[in-house]
Structure 1
């Protein structure tokens, strides 16, 4: 009996030890640990949020209703042709048998931008120049008669007025904040096909001395601009007006990726002067300037780009009265250094007529310092400053 009891006891102890090991080594983890999720890696933001919008429809929908098509008409007299126009017959018969001149209706098209809800429209001067009749067509198809409120040929801008007072207007943006590479869209009526939108980027800013206008500070863009786009809107990606489409550089007459727009900051200033006083008032000296090239600088013993050579002075003009003469070199105006003749044009144009400016320079290699009273710039005088 004693042996049997010892055997049973030792077997029971061995079984309990084996059960403890089995429970310790092979039991599965608690259920709540199996259900704990592994943290997922952060998801990358959608491409549209980091790379810009995938559509500019919102910008176009905001600006397009304020862009109008402009149709103009003018009557010209065209001399009729006949056999007696030949110089041989004119020698014997003179003008007695020449056919009388005939009236001919000439039409053209362009674009414009509604700036105010009471009917003022901004466009290019060359779009409406010499027109006898002007009509504007809204994107909705509504047609209105318009008249010229004022023009500024020096910047190729014009302001039209309609009698409507419930027109959609465009939001004016900041053209001075534009940077090369910014997305822009051109809205207009190219070739008369109807309102069209093209997209590009700002290729350059501050373009001047192109020979297009007297005062130039163009935005260059590769957004397609074609005949009929003139006077239309150049907008940014938010639908804000940043420029007035004006011209293209092209050898074929079509868009080749080099278009120019007048910055809205310049256009707005011109428009405000036209509406306030009927014209744009600019300062004027009555001189013609010439850039100092390296060759010219060597002959005058000057540094190239160190000023502007006066090549002509209008008799009786402000500069003539102050004592300036051809051959003088102007180095600064109101302590602002000059590098080319275009600098004089812009600096003096911004001075109100009647104000005086301080001009420093050299005459026969001797310095001079003069006070000149600025006059109002006369119309149609693109060569003088």
Structure 2
């Protein structure tokens, strides 16, 4: 028996292995369903998709509508008491002290043939004179129509004939990886075009503006580019270049989406300011620690950390410590998102506010107010030194 096994053992083992390989490789031979394995592979003859070898057409289309700005400010120094002394006053009248003129360089985008320009508020803030230099060599003094520090935008007006106007694109359709060109006047060397891609969209909580919804790009944005154009590969305006990330980092610049910029510009032209809704609260997203301190079953919602005196929220009955659950049936999950929701409302509109107070649900009705200017807004009433505020509405 052992001798028979020794004689036929190897042939039998080899036969079993071959049968197994046949079943695995050709299962349909033994009545089993054929195994399907799908791989995604590009066809050898499929055409390659590639960008243009030059963006000269896009640059030449947009560049004429991008202007350079030179803003000057004359510091108003308080006069010394000796200047008002009758004995010395005649001397100072004949030889007035020279003020050092402050110069600020930037860029602007010509938005219409009528001469309306968009730029950054920080470029034109407190300027006594704003000189606009066009690509065709013409120069003129601009009039400041209005500004919006909350978005760092300003609207200028110039009166010249045959003005070029930029083609306005659709910033809401921008995708990560799209080619972008930044056009402006960096360092005052003259108009410059840099290229990169869209690195991110919807950037916020950067501490730059009150309302943040930035397009991030690695197209070089340098000092003097502020207020210039961010355009797509076809030369259409998708953003207003605003800021770079400081600290030696490279390739991180931010632009205000043109959709937001257009809304601000049209409101300034129509009303002289941006009309925004306002509740008058400071809020903070609920953290695990806050959820535990308020005995909340989950971390949904935002907590009211401060209420402006005699503001719409206070008149509606909101109190520090209330947990905002919904605003007009929209879940209040993020302070900045809720702030933008309120800002889009018109002053005078009613808003339903659902809160949790001391563990009990409560519904309140508020009347949207007009957001006051940034520099005149009263400070909120702090409720806890441990709360870091990330939004106000």
What range describes the TM-score normalised by the shorter chain of this pair? 0.7 to 0.9
Aligned partner of 2:226 in structure 1 is 230
Alignment counterpart, residue 294 of structure 2, candidates 296, 300, 306: 300
* 1:345-384 deviations in Å (ceiling 9; x for gaps): 1111000000011111200000011111101000013974
CA contact (8 A) 2:180 2:198 kept: yes
Alignment coverage as a number of residue pairs = 325
Corresponding position: 1:374 with 2:374? no
Change (3 A) 1:79 1:167: same
Aligned counterpart, 1:142: 138
Query: 1:146/1:382 Cα in 2 relative to 1: closer, same or farther (>3 Å)?
Result: farther
Whole-angstrom distance in 2 between the partners of 1:276 and 1:79: 37
1:245-324 correspondence runs (5 A):
245-252=241-248, 256-302=250-296, 305-324=299-318
How far did residue 298 of structure 1 move? 1.6
Distance in 2 (alpha carbons) for counterparts of 1:101 and 1:319: 51
Sort the Cα spacing of 1:292 and 1:160 in 2 relative to 1 into closer, same or farther, 3 A: same
TM-score by length of 2: 0.79
Q: CA deviation at 1:241?
A: 0.1
- Alpha-carbon shift at residue 140 of structure 1 (Å): 1.4
Distance 1:318 1:146 in 2: 38
- Secondary structure in 1 matching 2:74: strand
Distance 1:304 1:178 in 2: 35
Distance 1:188 1:304, change over 3 A: farther
Normalising by structure 1, report the TM-score: 0.80
Shift in CA distance, 382/337, structure 1 to aligned 2, threshold 3 Å: farther
> Which residue pairs with 1:341 in the alignment?
335
Question: Residues 305 and 167 of structure 1: is their aligned pair in 2 closer, same or farther, counting only changes over 3 Å?
Answer: farther
Q: For 1:286 and 1:250, how far apart are their aligned partners in 2?
A: 32
The RMSD of aligned alpha carbons is 2.4
Deviation at 1:303, TM superposition (A): 5.1
Structure 2 gaps, min length 5: 1-43, 81-95, 380-391
8 Å CA contact 1:309, 1:327 repeated in 2: yes
Residue pair 1:69, 1:137 contacting (<8 A) in 2 also: yes
- Separation in 1, partners of 2:68, 2:200: 27
Distance 1:195 1:143 in 2: 14
- Indicate the residue corresponding to 1:217 in structure 2: 213
SS in 2 for 1:306: coil
SS of the aligned residue for 2:250 comes to: coil
CA deviation after TM superposition for structure 1 residue 273, in Å: 0.5
Which residue does the alignment assign to 2:71? 72
| CA 1:256–1:311: 2 relative to 1, 3 Å | same
Deviations 1:30-62 (A, max 9, x none): xxxxxxxxxxxxx96886xx2121111100010
Distance in 2 separating the partners of 1:177 and 1:382: 38
- How far apart are residue 344 of structure 1 and its match? 2.3
Cα distance between partner residues in 2 of 1:77 and 1:334: 48
CA distance in structure 1 between the partners assigned to 2:201 and 2:297 by the alignment: 28
The answer to whether the Cα contact below 8 Å between 2:308 and 2:378 also exists between their aligned partners in 1 is no
Q: What residue number does 2:103 align with?
A: 107
Deviation at 1:165, TM superposition (A): 3.7
Correspondence 1:332 to 2:341: no
Matched residue, 1:32:
none
Deviation, 1:79, is: 7.8
Q: Distance in 2 between matches of 1:156 and 1:117?
A: 23
Q: 2: distance between equivalents of 1:318 and 1:79? A: 40
- 1:315: how far off? 2.1
Task: Quote the residue 1:173 is aligned against.
Answer: 169
What does residue 52 of structure 1 align with? 51
Q: Rate the CA distance shift 1:46–1:136 in 2: closer, same or farther, 3 A.
A: farther
Equivalents in 1 of 2:133, 2:171: separation in Å?
26
Q: Measure the CA separation in 2 of the matches of 1:291 and 1:46.
A: 49
Unaligned residue ranges in structure 1 (runs of 5+)? 1-42, 82-99
SS at match of 1:372: strand
Paired residue secondary structure (1:51): coil
Partner residue of 1:199 out of 188, 195, 201: 195
**Cα distance between partner residues in 2 of 1:45 and 1:141:** 48
The aligned residue for residue 239 of structure 1 is 235
